[in-house]
A and B are shown apart, each in its own frame.
Chain A
């Protein structure tokens, strides 16, 4: 149990009105401060590789998907947003997704999938906008998720830089 000791008010504070005026003066001053509003559709948020936007799947230069449908992102996703069904492929990686869906309405943009992915196949893009007329349209399938790896390269470099820093500091200690 915690005993909360109330603050003993001074005579001046108990008069109440002086405190009211103090409050009013604070809000009055606030009125003349610079405002922080961003006029969204015209004034977009600046994005760069640090932006953790919606997850996207990297597609190699030869148009093959990197994902091996290992299901680690599916397992890591705290929002249960990802659903994957695998299939066999003749490519070296043996397995690729047959179905890969991210329910963008469930996705909380946490980036766990990116962190879990052993193949650098799912990456947090800088795409932030999400609007449509039905819930179904916001369940993104493989085609909607594919992005050329070149578009995601800055992010890839960035997360490698991050994990390098993490690795080196852990080995030095």
Chain B
């Protein structure tokens, strides 16, 4: 990274101190001046192809010149005018030229609501074009692989997507092909895009030309409630935004700028981990073993079963999931201490998609945090071994059943009293009770990523009713088992 060099320039008559290592447009944005940009993206090299960021710049006594702010380096004493008639007229003409072939059918377009072109067109307020020639007619649904669809008509050829593929995952696959009005974005010989970073294309596209197949046409972006959070699909812990529709379905996950972790990007593994939070098959309340197998019950009843087992049998095995937050880890360690046992967490198998950019091979989002609070990492095989030798075993946290392996758990003899706290129900012969738990978009806390950076979780939607957090459950458990030890005879 280039070092910061502070110089003073004048923006619209105001003296401002800015960083000269960045292009002028960055200084403008930082000082709160609204200049539209399409081809410029702070994370990509600047090419100055869309020309919408033009401003008037004066140096010394020379008359003002119109320049593109994204390609203009800053120098001391520059005087920038963003809203003079000249600068404004140039930008307006530029916009009209962009709209010459752009359908501007925002009611259908998925980008509407977060589209720079829409915002600027709206600000300029010219609803009708002046040209009488028909717009170019191109492919509106060109598939670019499993992730992305390209609408060639909407594309304004800013080339952000091309540069992204070249510069960020460094897997050049896209290019501008064709000439003049026939230029389109395409892959070589129309091969599908590959790689674990395709989803970012929909984010870098300033208009609605590149859209996600999984999100396309399903929700309007202004109906999504956005909450900051952290991705839990690998130990990188990218900062993300969870976008939830009507307090219900998690519709989209997008990267959130974090200079220390992921900058503007995230991988597709994390972006499309939507099913992890699906509400289908969610366990609310609890399932407890009755006459006819597992029967639904209230969370309270389930918890009492757990407490009973803990009271009557010594040496329970406590296995946490790798998705526990440090707060939950601390509470679990405290509970383990009370029970005179050890708290461990089960790690999922390493990911095969690991790469240089973001995705790591460690699938535990909080390995560092849980280790710091005193939990020991074990793998699924070791976990099964521990369970098999125990009278009582507690599986704690989201995805724990999946990590240990539902089939392997089904093999266990039912001398093991198995209890689970997971988003789904545990239905194996050894299971005595299964309680629901909030998923990572339904609770708050912190994860510590591979580099020691703390990422926060916030509540994006409420957990199903009658689902308590793990910390609440641990507290109730510790309360339920305490009187039995001190006044066991009197209670019965």
Q: Which residues of A contact B (CB under 8 A)?
A: 68-72, 74-75, 83-88, 93-95, 118-119
Contacts and interface: CB of A to CB of B under 8 A. Distances in A.
Contact of B217 (A72, A83, A95): A95
A57 B246 CA distance: 23
B217 A70 contact: no
Given A70-B108, A70-B220, A94-B140, 11 more contacts: A68-B108, A75-B222, A85-B219, A86-B218, A86-B220, A87-B217, A88-B216, A88-B217, A94-B141, A94-B217, A118-B107
A96 to B, nearest CB: 9
Contacts, number: 37
Nearest to B113: A71
Interface in B101-128: 106-108, 112
24 contacts: A69-B217, A70-B106, A70-B107, A70-B108, A70-B112, A71-B220, A71-B223, A74-B220, A74-B223, A75-B220, A75-B222, A83-B246, A84-B220, A85-B219, A86-B218, A86-B220, A87-B217, A87-B218, A93-B108, A94-B108, A94-B217, A95-B108, A95-B217, A119-B107
A95 B109 CA distance: 9
A68 B216 contact: no
Chain A binding surface SS class: mixed
Interface in B131-185: 140-141
Contacts of B140: 94
A68 B222 contact: no
Contact of A86 (B106, B217, B222, B246): B217
Contacts of B220: 70-71, 74-75, 84, 86
Interface residues of B, number: 14
Interface centre among B112, B218, B222 (most CB of A within 10 A): B218
Contacts of A87: 217-218
Interface in B211-260: 216-220, 222-223, 246
Contacts of A119: 107
B107 A86 contact: no
Nearest to B110: A95
A85 B107 contact: no
Contacts of A118: 107
A83 B246 CA distance: 10
A72 B107 contact: yes
A84 B223 CA distance: 10
Contacts of A84: 220
A70 B219 CA distance: 9
Closest 7 CB pairs of A and B: A70-B107, A71-B220, A95-B217, A118-B107, A88-B217, A86-B217, A68-B108
